[in-house]
Every structure is written in C-alpha cells, then in structure tokens.
Structure 1
Amino acid sequence: MAKGYWVSAYRTIVHPEKLAAYNELAAPAVAAGGGRLLAIDSRVVAHDAGIAERTILIEFDSFEQAVAAHASDAYQKALAALADGVERDFRIVEGLDD
C-alpha cells in the first residue's frame, strides 16, 4: 500500500503567535492520526519559484490515513487556531507503492 505524505511549505509567517498555537494543537493531532514527522525547519535550498522558508514533511502509512488525519476534529481545531497566521502551500500526496 502506498504511503501518504503531508507536504507544507510556508511562504510567509504573518502571526508567529498563531503558528505557535497551531503547533501545540497540531502535533498531538498528527500523532493521533498516525503521522510521523520526517522534516521540520530543515535546511532548504529553493529552486525555480520556490521559497526557502519553513517546510514540513509528515509521513502516514497510507494516503487515506493522511486524508483522514487532516479531516479529524483535532486537526481542524489546530487549523482554526492557525487561521490567517501564515500563508502556506499544503498538499497531501500519495507515495509510490512499496
């Protein structure tokens, strides 16, 4: 079964306090959904139209699990706390079959 990934690239952080509140809620929500943090604030080399900003990579055992974790009540509360605190590009991506 193909794994699922959350890929989040932050373009700007407008309200750091909202990001901090989101982080407090999102970490346990992601863990409860089966997510494993692979990269956060790692070194980034941007190419083409990319921006070398905060980048997050989270792995799930399946694409469906990744989608369900995003839809969970706990993660939706984290998103509400984040609100307009950042501008980011967030994607859920299906990996290749093992």
Structure 2
Amino acid sequence: MNKAYWVIAWNSISDPAAVERYIAPATAAILAHGGRVLAGGAPDKTYESGRPTRIVVVEFDTLLAAIAAYDSPDYQATLMHLRGAAERDVRIVEGVG
C-alpha cells in the first residue's frame, strides 16, 4: 500500500488567534491517528500559479488512514476554531509507489 498525504493550503486567515487555538488539538488528533507532519509554513519560493500562502503536508501510512483521520470526531472537533477564521483548501492524495 502507498502512503497518503494531506496537502493543505491556507488561502486566507482572518483570525490568527483562532488558528493558534486550532493548532495544538489538531496536531494531537493528527498524531493520534498516525499522521506525521512533514512540512508546514510559508513557501520559500513559488512558481507558475503558486501563491505565497501557508502550506502543510501530513503523511499517513495509507489512503484509508488519511481519510479516517480527517473524518474522525476528534479532528472534526478542532475545525470549530477555523469557522469564520480561516479558509483552506484541503486535499488528500495517495503517494506513488
């Protein structure tokens, strides 16, 4: 089985304090479901249509694990902090193997 990844682009943040309240419980939920945060932060360089917005990449052992982690009650509970505070583009992709 191939690894799978959450690829999260933060399109906008209107309430940085709310995002800070999201980070600790979200990270705990991700780790509890076997996720590993591989990269996070503003891009060092963008190309083509790239936007200089925060990006996060999280690795899971399988596609099913990545989906289950996102859909889990504990991770879903963390998203309340982002309502009205941030807009993101979240994609789950399977690695090539």
TM range (shorter): over 0.9
SS at match of 2:51: coil
The answer on whether the counterparts of 1:44 and 1:53 sit within 8 Å (CA) in structure 2 is no
Aligned match of 1:73? 73
TM-score w.r.t. the length of structure 1 is 0.91
Q: Unpaired runs of 5+ in structure 1?
A: none
The 2-side partners of 1:55 and 1:96 are apart by 20
**Shift of the alpha carbon at 1:48?**
2.4
Work out the percentage of aligned pairs sharing the same amino acid: 39
Number of matched pairs: 97
Gaps in structure 2 of 5+ consecutive residues: none
- Structure 1 ranges of 4+ moved more than 6 A: none
Alpha-carbon distance between aligned partners in 1 of 2:94 and 2:24, rounded to the nearest angstrom: 26
Displacement after TM superposition at 1:45 (Å):
1.7
CA RMSD, 1 decimal: 1.2
State how far apart, in whole Å, the 2-side matches of 1:43 and 1:50 are: 9
